[in-house]
């Protein structure tokens, strides 16, 4: 048995838009980030490379459960109009090794699925009973709100 327990939380939202429109939203994430979640998102900047290219670096800041959180990382997967994956930098990557945004066509719509991967040490799970579940519940709520907000933004176009 390993020292870590893996979790994946996800939230999906069907949106009457095309996968290409959704991709364009994320391609322009620097301009769209604040509007995507006005209450929680402060900024997203590409610091090295081009938007949504593998190995491009980013720096972002958001409010999570009332606390300012800065996340830096690297784009590790990019399939146009289908999938974007990020690997946060240390120390965030210790507990959150991957964040994915998946775009799936569904008839005249597209489904946006946000997936966040977590890993928690068994000792953390014992000593901080309920803390991992609380952290994941906060993240899931934020991801759900992002899906609803993305739907509202893209359906206005």
Please give the model's pTM, rounded to 2 decimal places: 0.92
Starting from the edge strand earliest in sequence, which strands make up the sheet with 98-106, in order? 4-15, 109-121, 98-106, 83-88, 67-79, 57-64, 41-48
pLDDT tens per residue, range 91-107: 999 999 999 999 999 99
Q: What is the CATH number of domain 4-155?
A: 3.30.530.20
pLDDT tens per residue, range 105-130: 999 999 999 999 999 988 787 778 88
The domain locations on the chain are: 4-155
Phi/psi region, residue 20 (left: phi>0; alpha: psi -120 to 50; beta: rest), is alpha
């Amino acid at each position: 048995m390993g020292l870590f327990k893996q979790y994946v939380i996800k939230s999906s939202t069907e949106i009457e838009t095309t996968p290409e429109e959704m991709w364009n939203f994320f391609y322009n994430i620097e301009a769209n980030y604040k509007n995507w979640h006005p209450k929680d998102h402060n900024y997203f900047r590409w610091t090295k490379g081009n938007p949504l290219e593998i190995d491009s670096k980013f720096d972002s800041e958001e409010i999570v459960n009332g606390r300012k959180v800065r996340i830096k990382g690297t784009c590790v997967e990019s399939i146009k109009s289908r999938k974007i994956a990020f690997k946060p930098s240390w120390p965030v990557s210790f507990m959150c090794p991957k964040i994915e945004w998946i775009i799936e066509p569904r008839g005249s719509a597209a489904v946006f699925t946000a997936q966040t991967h977590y890993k928690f040490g068994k000792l953390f799970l014992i000593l901080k009973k309920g803390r991992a579940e609380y952290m994941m519940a906060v993240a899931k709520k934020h991801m759900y709100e992002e899906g609803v907000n993305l739907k509202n933004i893209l359906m206005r176009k």
